[in-house]
Structure 1
Amino acid sequence: MLGNHGRGLTKALFTRPALVLGRLGVTPNMLTVAGTVLSVTAAVTLLPRGYFVAGPLVLLLALVVDSFDGILARATGKSSVFGAFLDSTMDRLADGAVLGSLAAWAALTIPIGALRTVTVVAALTAIVLAATVPYARARAESIGATAKTGIAERADRLVVALGATFIVGLGAPQWVLTIALIYVAIASFITVVQRVWTVYAQTRRTGGSS
């Protein structure tokens, strides 16, 4: 939902800077890879060690860089099938690094008990379900259907997880992050169900369901 509403804003803010990068010879694929490298590096080096203020801020910068690739591709007419494939693949790496790093932090930092167990399980569950959301869309498109619906797109998941991480870094209780990870897992599951149902309805109308 945030992704849908934020695309117009990011386009307005970043089109001119993206065009400047294009004139300097920077390609959309370069930005995709750079954003992923920055995201993964920041996630695995900062989050497991509890740098919950610096980590989210650096990852926010990485998200900004990541938003440039699509804007640059559209503004310069360099959109490509490979570019879309690369962007989606790199996003999965970055998302896994963020959520996996939060799971590692919980396992290493939170004292043994229910809170640690729930936090680690929620983070690991969120990794699986968050990866299933885009897979459902990609698989739907491969059979001629569309599955863009859902309450939790990538931007929603990252804003909730990193926002809670930042708040904990400022001194909030650790369970705030636990609740956020549970929300990400549940919202991702609901999104998967929404996409499966959407594709089922489409294939039923066209006689393709079994």
Structure 2
Amino acid sequence: MAKIFQVTARAGMTRVVEPIARGLLRAGVSPNAVTVTGTVGVLVGALGFGARGDLVAGALIVTVFALTDLLDGTMARMSGGSTRFGAFLDSSMDRIADSAVFGAVAYWLATEHDYSGVAAALICLAAGGLVSYVKARAEGLGMTCNVGIAERTERLLIVGVGGLLTGVGVRPALEVALWLLAAVSIFTVGQRMAHVYRQAQQVGAE
């Protein structure tokens, strides 16, 4: 059911993103420029607003610019496919943005003496990096790893919703979102490792 919802949501987003992608390509904007712009926007939202406790503005800015992760990929596909440097740049910028988001959240929660939330944010940061690393390492070994219930866009949306709700007065929402995200991120790591293990077993049996 979760996978069906995920696919449906992404299909809906694609219908929204594709016209924007076409317009940007016609205007001469490159996918790499969108990648860098998205990262800068996330940094502004996370460090300029979220880390200071302005959670509503921070969450909205981060969520909007996090969606460029779908936009630059769509632009690359429409323009003939991602280049090797484009793929490298996208992955690198994602790690920078994720570190800024969860670092900013952890910093603000520490100023609020919410050490349970700090722990959850740090787990999210480590597990999120591991989710991406497992996929990259598997693909580097010639296997596929396109599985998991918590990919990057979903992870940022979860923490964004938590931050937004906390910013409007639902105090425990951010901490709840972080612990939920920590759990699904760890589960996703397990999903991906199991997927790669099954592929490796099949190769060994051939």
TM-score for the superposition, normalised by structure 2: 0.91
Q: Which residue of 2 aligns with 1:186?
A: 183
- 1:78-116 superposed Cα distances (whole Å, 9 cap, x missing partner): 521221221122111111111111000001123xxxxx2
> Which residue among 85, 94, 97 is the counterpart of 1:82?
85
More displaced stretch, 179-188 vs 60-69: 60-69
> Which residue among 52, 57, 61 is the counterpart of 1:58?
61
Please say if residues 66 and 156 of structure 2, whose CA atoms lie closer than 8 Å, have aligned partners that are also in contact: no
Q: Which residue of 2 aligns with 1:134?
A: 132
Q: Which residue of 1 aligns with 2:11?
A: 8
- How much has 1:3 moved relative to structure 2? 5.6
- How much has 1:66 moved relative to structure 2? 3.2
Please say if residues 147 and 199 of structure 1, whose CA atoms lie closer than 8 Å, have aligned partners that are also in contact: yes
Q: Which residue of 1 aligns with 2:202?
A: 205
Q: Which residue of 1 aligns with 2:38?
A: 35
Q: Which residue of 2 aligns with 1:168?
A: 166
* Alignment gaps of 5+ in structure 1: 111-115
CA distance in 2, matches of 1:194, 1:65: 26
Please say if residues 51 and 105 of structure 2, whose CA atoms lie closer than 8 Å, have aligned partners that are also in contact: yes
- 1:102-151 superposed Cα distances (whole Å, 9 cap, x missing partner): 000001123xxxxx221111101110000100110110011111112112
Q: Which residue of 2 aligns with 1:113?
A: none
Secondary structure in structure 1 of the residue aligned to 2:51 = coil
* Alignment gaps of 5+ in structure 2: none
Secondary structure in structure 1 of the residue aligned to 2:64 = helix
Please say if residues 69 and 153 of structure 2, whose CA atoms lie closer than 8 Å, have aligned partners that are also in contact: no
